Amino acid sequence: MTDNRAESNGDRPARAKRLPRAVRERQILDAAVAVFSQRGYHAASMDEISEVAGISKPMIYAYLGAKEELFAACIQREATRLVEAIAGVVDESLPPREQLWRGIQGFFAFVADNRDSWRVLHRQAGTQGEPFAAELTAGRKRAISVIGLLLEHAAQAQGVGSFAEGQTEPLAAGLVGAGESLADWWLDHPEETPKAMSGRLMNLVWMGFGNLVQGTGWRPSQAEDAGLQRSDEVSA
Amino acid sequence: MTDNRAESNGDRPARAKRLPRAVRERQILDAAVAVFSQRGYHAASMDEISEVAGISKPMIYAYLGAKEELFAACIQREATRLVEAIAGVVDESLPPREQLWRGIQGFFAFVADNRDSWRVLHRQAGTQGEPFAAELTAGRKRAISVIGLLLEHAAQAQGVGSFAEGQTEPLAAGLVGAGESLADWWLDHPEETPKAMSGRLMNLVWMGFGNLVQGTGWRPSQAEDAGLQRSDEVSA
Amino acid sequence: MTDNRAESNGDRPARAKRLPRAVRERQILDAAVAVFSQRGYHAASMDEISEVAGISKPMIYAYLGAKEELFAACIQREATRLVEAIAGVVDESLPPREQLWRGIQGFFAFVADNRDSWRVLHRQAGTQGEPFAAELTAGRKRAISVIGLLLEHAAQAQGVGSFAEGQTEPLAAGLVGAGESLADWWLDHPEETPKAMSGRLMNLVWMGFGNLVQGTGWRPSQAEDAGLQRSDEVSA
Amino acid sequence: MTDNRAESNGDRPARAKRLPRAVRERQILDAAVAVFSQRGYHAASMDEISEVAGISKPMIYAYLGAKEELFAACIQREATRLVEAIAGVVDESLPPREQLWRGIQGFFAFVADNRDSWRVLHRQAGTQGEPFAAELTAGRKRAISVIGLLLEHAAQAQGVGSFAEGQTEPLAAGLVGAGESLADWWLDHPEETPKAMSGRLMNLVWMGFGNLVQGTGWRPSQAEDAGLQRSDEVSA
DNA sequence: GATGAATGAGATTTCATTCAT
DNA sequence: CATGAATGAAATCTCATTCAT
């Protein structure tokens, strides 16, 4: 809100120093991520972004285009950073379980260091009708399918070929959701370490998955099964 | 996008009949849920809501207050409906596992029948800075803590008293997130039955949880443990 | 600039009285024609139009849409008025010359009474690149072709069938241009009567045309013909 | 419409060579005429002009001043060019009719070779309220009065001294308008040769004028005269 | 001399909200 | 009670213009 630019030399805001384009672009993206993260896409205003970036609006438009494009640029940059953070710690030569463990650790480490990035990626996911929804959804789906593959490898490694087709993807979706939700919960419990968080998710995922791939999946007993009707048969 | 301009159509809409207040409020809330669900809070316009509701804007203000209050009312109504839908199928006298199974079924049945409600509850969750964020977060936390309790009961029922304090809540959070994510995935795979979805979540949760409560939780081997450092120790 | 609304009761601008839609639409169009006429499309601002109309901008958008649509509406209304003004005095049963004379009189009478309308129709005609340019050009072409027909009838009435094909249209274009230019000149010489103006145009058109249809068209002598080269043969 | 954003292209445009001022000014004016012609004064942007000119904006300001001055400079240069093009082919020692014929040919030749120049001179004619309107109107009036003189000479040459005072100017205006309109029509019929166009205008003008100067001007019959009332007597 | 970087000011458009019939 | 009519305020985006390197 207040003018926190350095060198407020007496009178007026003092034209910002001339900086190379790359630097300014980074500044702008940083500010945009922060503001989008805090306010959400629609509530974020270009005015606030420009203020936070310490630069005037026209420069934002000149360098990164209109609001939508700016947002897309944020998404892309942060998604890339997240993917690289995880890819950087995963070693494909390791057995699947270890890969998963490292990946999960990488994820929580990234979230720990980049709360804003994470929020932008996570919290805007469903703003349907927006033109960039595709971008977000696509990223999410890519993540899910990568994890799905990992699960499939794990299943094969354990010699369980019977793992039903089409089962990995929804499970991966559940896993990603669990991770997101845990990361959210973490926001309210900052005293937890990344490793503790990672351990929780790994347990939830692996122990459940460990049983599933061994064919010991849970199934409702006959009594449990009879209890509920399909709701749409009633409501229709 | 759509052409909202009023049209000077000769056949005027015929002043709405005088209806009891409760009916009107329901109409309005139904419309509001639909519009908020499709557009998101900010992109939704009072104009569209009033149009969908078939009621003029001043009435909306008279009955349900300003946009924020209206949104809060939507959240509250839908949250209550979801909670009641689940509560309606859970029988507290049953063993925890069965309760969980029924609860999960109730959840997916509700989502199946009320996509809009679900979207409003789920997709707007993180619009931080808004005054109603509290409302949403609170509902979510309530849900998590209820499930946490359930898990704790289950643990006790299996005679596992050593289940560490403070472990249930994050697990419950993970569970809720997995459920949300699966429900999202479902939106793209409408051919799946509610029961199939419920089965997936139950497996993920219970088989993992089943092992956890029996003390067979997974823990990284020493090699796995050494691999990663806390990122903030480095980046700081 | 100043607030010329009636009843400036003491303090603030006093919300405009509630008027039926049709009345307001007329007010708005009147104001828009005046402002577009004076400033031109681009230099005209919605702010000024709303000020002149004595109504707030949102009403303009509600009733007549965005700037472009508003301008198109102006064009359409004024073009229709001009056409009707002329059509109202032309009697198709009369001989062509008399029709032309009456049409020309109608034209100048309209311009006399509606300087602004005329300016909007005439002066914006060539703002190329605008999406409404088509609308204007189309109207102009329609006018030219109508006059072309009239000329053709006149030629036939004089028993001159040999009037070369494709000659009427450019002549009509010339006639229209002459009319526009005379009308422009009139703006600077308001003391002239409509009848005097009409007479001038009629003379220019008819006497020239009168000779043309009788085959007494002028043609350069050989000496005159040799004088100039096609410029593009040189400049190319 | 076009994407004006600066692009961070690796291969930079290579700082323009130091050129003599006159050359630079010509480059700039050429670009400005092209852009003003296509877009109109207001819609033209200094950015586009500088881009088309291949010279940075600050140079434009240094050499030719602000937008308005630049536009005025365009008008002046193009008007001069047009006048010179016509003056170059007119030989004052020739009889008036031949002068007129040559002048008309010169006009269409110029328009053929300089569409943009012509459009700038013609299409912006009525942007009233702008400070450069004077410049435009002045140029136009000069042209009209030159032609008026020519007509007057022709009248005297034919021994018609009674040609009423004040008649030449409006006729000249009509002639100029007819020329403009024919030039416009030409834009849509590029297959026509300059000579054909010239012939059309000459015929329209001269044959009409030829009769006028001989006192055989057309006058409404009594019946025709009675048909219409002055509109302002009614509407006032 | 030449330019990339920078901005104040203003344009169009929309929206939540309220008055007056 | 019910609504069409009305608006203040703010958001996005563009443009002419000027520093500072």
Q: What is the pLDDT along chain C (236 residues), one digit of tens a residue?
A: 443 434 444 445 567 778 889 999 999 999 999 999 888 889 899 999 999 999 999 999 999 999 999 999 998 899 889 889 988 888 888 888 888 889 899 999 999 999 889 888 877 655 555 566 677 777 778 778 878 887 777 777 766 554 556 678 888 888 888 998 888 888 778 899 998 899 888 888 777 666 655 555 566 666 666 655 544 443 33
Mean pLDDT of B36-46: 90
Note which residues in 100-159 of chain B have CB less than 8 A from chain A: 101-102, 105-106, 109-110, 112-113, 119, 122-123, 125-130, 144
- Cα A119 to Cα A123, A188, B142, C120, C221: the distances in Å are 5, 14, 22, 53, 85
D56 CA, E1 C1': separation in Å? 12
- Percent of all residues in chain A with a pLDDT value above 90, rounded to a whole number: 21
pLDDT tens readout for residues D60-117: 999 999 999 999 899 889 988 988 888 888 887 888 788 888 888 888 888 889 988 8
CA C185 from centre of chain: 14
Give residue for tokens 């942060």. Answer: A78
Supply the pLDDT for residue D56: 94
Interchain touch A–C (≥3 Cβ pairs closer than 8 Å): no
Where does the pLDDT of residue A202 fall: very low under 50, low under 70, confident under 90, or very high at 90 and above? Answer: confident
Identify the CA nearest to A28 among candidates A1, A2, A57: A57
**C191: phi then psi, degrees, rounded to nearest 5:** -75, -15
The verdict on a CB contact (< 8 Å) between A22 and D6 is: no
Identify the three-state secondary structure at position A218. Answer: coil
pLDDT, averaged across chain B: 77
Gyration radius of chain D over CA positions:
23
Where does the pLDDT of residue B59 fall: very low under 50, low under 70, confident under 90, or very high at 90 and above? Answer: very high
- Cα C209 to Cα B133, C158, D158, D218: the distances in Å are 80, 11, 21, 11
What residue type is C182 in one-letter code?
L
Give the chains touching A; criterion: ≥3 Cβ pairs < 8 Å: B, D
Query: Does residue C44 lie within 7 Å of nucleic acid chain E, judged by its CB?
Result: yes
Q: How far apart are CA B181 and CA A124, in angstroms?
A: 14
Query: Does residue D56 lie within 7 Å of nucleic acid chain E, judged by its CB?
Result: yes
**C25 interaction partners in chain B (CB closer than 8 Å):** 8
Residue A23 has pLDDT above 90, yes or no: yes
**A98 interaction partners in chain B (CB closer than 8 Å):** 224
Q: How far apart are CA D85 and CA D94, in angstroms?
A: 17
Q: Residue B123 in contact with residue A126, Cβ under 8 Å?
A: yes
Query: Does residue C102 lie within 7 Å of nucleic acid chain E, judged by its CB?
Result: no
Identify the CA nearest to D96 among candidates D166, D168, D164: D168
Q: Residue D56 is encoded by which pair of tokens?
A: 């940075």
What residue type is A156 in one-letter code?
Q
- Stronger pLDDT, B149 or A57, i.e. the higher one: A57
Query: Which residue is closest, via its CA, to the C1' of F9?
Result: C58
Q: Residue A167 in contact with residue A208, Cβ under 8 Å?
A: no
Supply the pLDDT for residue B228: 54
Mean pLDDT of A18-25: 92
Give the contacts of B40 (CB within 8 A, at least 6 positions apart).
Answer: A42, A126, A127, A128, A129, A130, B123, B124
Supply the pLDDT for residue A230: 43
Supply the pLDDT for residue B234: 37
Identify the three-state secondary structure at position D35. Answer: helix
- Cα D185 to Cα C177, C233, D74, D134, D179: the distances in Å are 10, 22, 24, 27, 10
Query: Which residue is closest, via its CA, to the C1' of F1?
Result: B18
Residue A219 has pLDDT above 50, yes or no: yes
Interchain touch D–B (≥3 Cβ pairs closer than 8 Å): no
Minimum-distance CB partner of B40 among A42, A113, A182: A42
Query: Does residue B206 lie within 7 Å of nucleic acid chain E, judged by its CB?
Result: no
Supply the pLDDT for residue D83: 84
Mean pLDDT of A182-195: 86
Query: Which residue is closest, via its CA, to the C1' of F17?
Result: D66
For CA atoms D109, D112, D113, D117, the dihedral sign is positive
Supply the pLDDT for residue A53: 95
pLDDT, averaged across chain A: 78
The verdict on a CB contact (< 8 Å) between D6 and A65 is: no
Supply the pLDDT for residue C188: 78
Q: Residue A125 in contact with residue A90, Cβ under 8 Å?
A: no
Q: Residue B40 is encoded by which pair of tokens?
A: 């998101």
Using the Cβ of D168 and the Cβ atoms of chain C, whether some distance falls under 8 Å is answered with no
Mean pLDDT of B91-113: 86
One digit per residue, pLDDT tens: chain D, 236 residues? 444 455 444 444 555 666 788 889 999 999 999 999 888 888 899 999 999 999 999 999 999 999 999 998 998 899 889 888 888 888 878 887 888 888 888 888 888 899 888 888 876 655 555 666 677 777 777 777 777 777 777 777 665 554 556 677 888 888 888 888 888 888 788 899 888 898 888 888 777 666 655 555 566 666 666 655 544 443 33
Query: Does residue D58 lie within 7 Å of nucleic acid chain E, judged by its CB?
Result: yes
Mean pLDDT of B139-168: 71
**D6 interaction partners in chain A (CB closer than 8 Å):** 62-63
The nucleotide closest to D18 (CA, C1' atoms): E1
Q: How far apart are CA D49 and CA D116, in angstroms?
A: 14
What residue type is D120 in one-letter code?
V
Chain D's closest residue to C201, CA to CA, is D174
Using the Cβ of C231 and the Cβ atoms of chain D, whether some distance falls under 8 Å is answered with yes
Supply the pLDDT for residue B1: 42
A67 CA, F13 C1': separation in Å? 10
The verdict on a CB contact (< 8 Å) between B98 and A123 is: no
Q: Residue B143 is encoded by which pair of tokens?
A: 């849900």
**A129 interaction partners in chain B (CB closer than 8 Å):** 38-40, 43
- Cα C182 to Cα C86, D142, D211: the distances in Å are 17, 16, 19
Supply the pLDDT for residue A9: 44
The whole-angstrom distance between C49's CA and the closest CA on chain B is: 19
Instruction: Identify from A197, A207, A209 which residue to disrupt to test chain B contact, counting B C-beta atoms within 10 A and taking the largest count.
Output: A207
The whole-angstrom distance between C26's CA and the closest CA on chain B is: 13
Supply the pLDDT for residue D44: 92
- Stronger pLDDT, B169 or C32, i.e. the higher one: C32
pLDDT tens readout for residues A53-105: 999 999 999 999 999 999 989 988 998 898 888 888 888 888 878 888 888 88
Chain D's closest residue to A64, CA to CA, is D5
Q: Is A217 left (phi over 0), alpha (psi -120 to 50) or beta?
A: beta
Note which residues in 49-88 of chain C have CB less than 8 A from chain D: none
Query: Does residue A19 lie within 7 Å of nucleic acid chain E, judged by its CB?
Result: yes
Domains, chain A, ordered by start:
17-65 (1.10.10.60), 74-215 (1.10.357.10)
Give the contacts of B131 (CB within 8 A, at least 6 positions apart).
Answer: B68
Chain B's closest residue to C58, CA to CA, is B5
The nucleotide closest to D68 (CA, C1' atoms): F16
